Structure 1
């Protein structure tokens, strides 16, 4: 669903207070008067409603410093985002700033090669990210084609503490305990895991923690050697485990027609005891149900190891054809800076990659209770791709077919392996 809202400086003044990751935003003392000469309007595109609240928070702070810049943002649907962006670019109507998934997909690189992106390397202050891996998501061969965020995007198992207490369950310490809890929850009339198999990203964000829990050795193999077979039987076993859970009703009825937002809502409202999803969804879950007794943990390996799948997160590229370069770069610098990212991370209630932003949220601290950080399967597909079609693009197109019956697990992973260089 397309959603469009306009925030003008008059409306935004004093409209919302954003907390630093758990409550109270430290007052930033910068004066905006010296920026008053920068004026005009900007259009920003974001690819999913999950990032609407943090984007609004950043826009509010930006317009306090740049009161004469009007900012319009548009929220697109994730499944159609790149098609809509490509159409806008071809029509000469690209937004001034827009999200891409950075180096996690080929889109940003293609846009850069086509001359559609502004080189931000010497135009944006990226010093906040010194000593982190954040710039890897938005840079190609040392050139920054987008801003990163300070978010350490990860995956976690969110759970309803009240349901767990009702059923006498505790946070599992082994994978066997985790799997056994699913039947206990189902027997009590709850959906064990809220899951939307019509959304390839929802599939990924459950698959990756399960892969880490079931076969951390496969991920370690890649980390140690830099190469791995993406159609390995260990990978296929995880997908087949998910299908087995579906057959047992652990995802509830009609899960193949549910998207990511629907899965989050079902969990938030108490229909499901758990959901496995991106760490950036804390804010969405709590907005859906402020009274939810929310907890989080990492799905454990059988030996008790708690792995964490963590990735950097891309922010916004600036269109090379923007008609308001000065304002666009002002926004890019604000977004990439400490104040902008304090607002972004605070609204998301997510894990920061830098110690300059501190969390006071207990759920974030529960997410951060892990023993080892490991790589994303999706990222590995990108690192290993050969020339031609990207396995990540094929993954996005075909992933859900495993659950709808359009492809077998083996057909799917073999399709990906065929595109590995």
Structure 2
């Protein structure tokens, strides 16, 4: 399999933007991988000795069953190491984790938010550097960038490369003579045709803000033509540009094709509407495929990339989380052993097939053809999730500002013009290219 590329018009700028702040914990001494550790006090060497239980935290409650299988594979090879996997609700995870780390009661292994959010934990000294970890060099640098600090050190092993796109129900499309849209106008026409037949065109909810920036990440690239992304990242354009405004206007233009009372719907509602065949399309991430198929194994699930105004197609990508080691863990050698396992092709294949996700480990292919198609598109038609990769800093973050403003627009409290004003004001407080 080809190496992953986060394809943008400004790859050099992307690489610089991903060099996030970080510092080592544990008195500044970089931990060596388990194979270089030697014996711990009490004889707790990673490969043998008395049994150790590692705590492992995540924001993926829905993945508990799948993680049990991954952990079982690791424990079979490391019988002296047990892992206690404890997930939390995604919207509560950051607060719970930060509180635990600040009180020195954090987990041994923690799921790390990508880019700036995760890097903030490295800045605070909570994470152990992983540069000397066996296998880490097998992962492409542009993928490792999602967990890399400004000091150039790597603080997490990437779990997956996520994508966002339009999922659609092939049976509903075929039964109603609807074709895959090749332009924005065709998307609107398809939505109108479905609505006229009593079918909800797009399963969508505005209750959870992160879903709004995610959906915008899919819609926006359609209007980001003529090198806009490159100009934006260089500070030659901004977020009040006609291109960005058009992306917000299009988010508003889709309102007639959302479910009734969509402002009160959350992810579970959206997923259920689509999986049960009540809605024809679903804007969401590749991480939803497993859950959708569990709800309805017979669903004829497919996807299409976002058609752009210049006749192309793009799929939005980003490194969606890594796993890191707590710098104050009492069992670093054992935790690093699990990190090393995560860099192997065996883990990559287990993960890709269990969760129907794209593994960042080179050479891994999945049993699911949809996963392999998504993998191919990440190599040829990818564009970065703008708000996570480039605009996830600030207080509140520019990403969060966009989410709040879009919720305001859907409640008829803000116009698209006011949304872009709010977003630009946020970015101008910290985004260096805007300060030229």
Residue 135 of structure 1 deviates from its aligned partner by: 0.6
For residues 177 and 135 of structure 2, the distance between their equivalents in structure 1, rounded to whole angstroms, comes to 51
Residue 208 of structure 1 deviates from its aligned partner by: 1.6
The equivalences for 1:16-415 within 5 A come to 35-37=47-49, 39-103=51-115, 105=116, 107-130=117-140, 133-140=142-149, 141-149=151-159, 151-217=160-226, 219-222=228-231, 225=234, 228-246=237-255, 248=256, 250-367=257-374, 370=377, 372-379=381-388, 381-382=390-391, 390-395=397-402, 398-415=405-422
TM-score, normalised to structure 1, is: 0.82
3-state SS in 2 of match to 1:277: strand
3-state SS in 1 of match to 2:180: coil
> How has the CA–CA distance of structure 1 residues 86 and 352 changed in structure 2, closer, same or farther, with 3 Å as cutoff?
closer
For residues 176 and 369 of structure 1, the distance between their equivalents in structure 2, rounded to whole angstroms, comes to 26
> How has the CA–CA distance of structure 1 residues 397 and 172 changed in structure 2, closer, same or farther, with 3 Å as cutoff?
closer
> How has the CA–CA distance of structure 1 residues 406 and 125 changed in structure 2, closer, same or farther, with 3 Å as cutoff?
farther
For residues 217 and 381 of structure 1, the distance between their equivalents in structure 2, rounded to whole angstroms, comes to 19
For residues 318 and 128 of structure 2, the distance between their equivalents in structure 1, rounded to whole angstroms, comes to 24
For residues 124 and 196 of structure 1, the distance between their equivalents in structure 2, rounded to whole angstroms, comes to 43
3-state SS in 1 of match to 2:354: helix
CA offsets 1:70-125 (integer angstroms, 9 cap, x no match): 2212221222211111222233211111112231x3x3233222221112222453
For residues 124 and 135 of structure 1, the distance between their equivalents in structure 2, rounded to whole angstroms, comes to 14
> How has the CA–CA distance of structure 1 residues 82 and 270 changed in structure 2, closer, same or farther, with 3 Å as cutoff?
same
For residues 67 and 333 of structure 1, the distance between their equivalents in structure 2, rounded to whole angstroms, comes to 16
Aligned to 1:26: none
For residues 366 and 283 of structure 1, the distance between their equivalents in structure 2, rounded to whole angstroms, comes to 15
3-state SS in 1 of match to 2:90: coil
Aligned to 2:10: none
CA offsets 1:114-148 (integer angstroms, 9 cap, x no match): 22111222245313314x52110011131111111
TM-score, normalised to structure 2, is: 0.79
Aligned to 1:28: none
Q: Which has the larger displacement, 266-275 or 170-179?
A: 170-179
Does the CA-based 8 Å contact 2:345-2:362 persist in structure 1? no
> How has the CA–CA distance of structure 1 residues 318 and 373 changed in structure 2, closer, same or farther, with 3 Å as cutoff?
same
For residues 148 and 197 of structure 1, the distance between their equivalents in structure 2, rounded to whole angstroms, comes to 29
Residue 399 of structure 1 deviates from its aligned partner by: 4.5
3-state SS in 2 of match to 1:241: helix
Aligned to 1:416: 423
> How has the CA–CA distance of structure 1 residues 232 and 87 changed in structure 2, closer, same or farther, with 3 Å as cutoff?
same
Residue 289 of structure 1 deviates from its aligned partner by: 0.9
Residue 217 of structure 1 deviates from its aligned partner by: 3.4
> How has the CA–CA distance of structure 1 residues 53 and 180 changed in structure 2, closer, same or farther, with 3 Å as cutoff?
farther
For residues 162 and 231 of structure 2, the distance between their equivalents in structure 1, rounded to whole angstroms, comes to 20
3-state SS in 2 of match to 1:304: coil
Residue 65 of structure 1 deviates from its aligned partner by: 1.1
Structure 2, unaligned stretches of length 5 or more?
Answer: 1-45, 432-436
Q: Which has the larger displacement, 295-304 or 347-356?
A: 347-356
For residues 361 and 353 of structure 2, the distance between their equivalents in structure 1, rounded to whole angstroms, comes to 13
Number of matched residues? 380
For residues 369 and 143 of structure 1, the distance between their equivalents in structure 2, rounded to whole angstroms, comes to 29
Does the CA-based 8 Å contact 1:38-1:66 persist in structure 2? no
> How has the CA–CA distance of structure 1 residues 294 and 96 changed in structure 2, closer, same or farther, with 3 Å as cutoff?
same
CA offsets 1:317-340 (integer angstroms, 9 cap, x no match): 211111222221111111232222
Residue 236 of structure 1 deviates from its aligned partner by: 2.2
CA offsets 1:168-191 (integer angstroms, 9 cap, x no match): 112222222121000111111111
3-state SS in 2 of match to 1:216: coil
Residue 165 of structure 1 deviates from its aligned partner by: 1.0
For residues 231 and 63 of structure 2, the distance between their equivalents in structure 1, rounded to whole angstroms, comes to 31
For residues 396 and 112 of structure 2, the distance between their equivalents in structure 1, rounded to whole angstroms, comes to 18
